[in-house]
Amino acid sequence: MNGEWLIRGRDGRLSVYLVTQDAVLCRAEQVPGGAWDTPRRMGGDQRLHPGLAVGQGVDAYAHLTAWRPTTPGESGLVHSTHFRPLLAALDWSPIGHPNGKGDHTGRPAVAVDHQGRAHVFVRNGGGGLSMRAQKLKGGWGPWRDLQGERLQDMPVAVAGRDGRMEAYAAGDGTILHWRQEEPETAIKMADTVGVTARPGSLRALATSGESTTLFFSDASGTLCAWRPGTAPVALLPEAGPGPVSAVRCDLDGLDCTVLAQRAPSGRIAFAAYPSEQESAGAAWTESAGSLPADAEVAMTLDADDRLVAAALSPSTGALHLTRRKDEPGLALGAWRAV
Per-residue pLDDT tens digits for 161-181? 889 999 999 999 999 999 999
> Quick one: 140 and 212 in the same domain?
yes
Q: What is the mean pLDDT of residues 142-151?
A: 96
pLDDT surpassing 90 at residue 105: yes
CB of 211 within 8 A of CB of 191?
A: no
| Domain finish residue from 238, 253, 283 | 238
Q: What is the mean pLDDT of residues 265-270?
A: 91
Q: What CATH number is given to the structural domain containing 131? A: 2.120.10.10
> Quick one: 233 and 288 in the same domain?
no
> Quick one: 194 and 262 in the same domain?
no
> Quick one: 233 and 120 in the same domain?
yes
- How far is 219 from 214, CA to CA, in rounded Å? 16
pLDDT surpassing 90 at residue 2: no
> Quick one: 123 and 152 in the same domain?
yes
Tally of structural domains, the chain: 2
| Domain finish residue from 216, 238, 260 | 238
Q: How many Cα atoms occupy the beta-carbon half-sphere of 92 within 13 Å? A: 23
pLDDT surpassing 90 at residue 184: no
* 273-321 tens-digit pLDDT: 999 999 999 999 998 787 888 889 999 999 999 999 999 998 888 999 9
Q: What is the mean pLDDT of residues 212-217?
A: 97
CB of 63 within 8 A of CB of 81?
A: yes
pLDDT on residue 316: 86
CB of 214 within 8 A of CB of 203?
A: yes
pLDDT above 70 coverage of the chain, percent: 100
pLDDT on residue 183: 85
CB of 131 within 8 A of CB of 124?
A: no
> Quick one: 98 and 133 in the same domain?
yes
**Beta bridge partner(s), residue 205:** 213
> Quick one: 251 and 269 in the same domain?
yes
Residue 215 neighbours by CB under 8 Å, 6+ apart: 201, 202, 203, 204, 205, 223, 224, 225, 235, 244, 246, 259
Q: What is the mean pLDDT of residues 176-191?
A: 93
User: By residue range, what is the domain housing residue 104?
Assistant: 2-238
Amino acid at 42: M
pLDDT on residue 52: 95
In what side-by-side order are the strands of the sheet with 254-262?
Answer: 245-251, 254-262, 268-274, 285-286
Cα distances (Å, whole numbers) of residue 316 to 51, 140, 207, 312, 313: 16, 36, 33, 8, 6
| Domain finish residue from 218, 238, 258 | 238
Mean pLDDT of the chain, nearest integer: 94
What's this model's pTM, rounded to 2 decimal places? 0.96
Which pairs with CB-CB distance under 8 Å and at least 24 residues apart come from 326-335?
A: 328/252, 329/251, 329/252, 330/251, 330/258, 330/270, 330/272, 330/285, 332/270, 332/287, 332/307, 334/288, 334/289, 335/287, 335/288, 335/289, 335/291, 335/311
CB of 301 within 8 A of CB of 14?
A: no
> Quick one: 311 and 203 in the same domain?
no
> Quick one: 130 and 228 in the same domain?
yes
> Quick one: 324 and 187 in the same domain?
no
> Quick one: 65 and 36 in the same domain?
yes
- How far is 23 from 26, CA to CA, in rounded Å? 10
295 or 55, higher pLDDT: 55
> Quick one: 225 and 295 in the same domain?
no
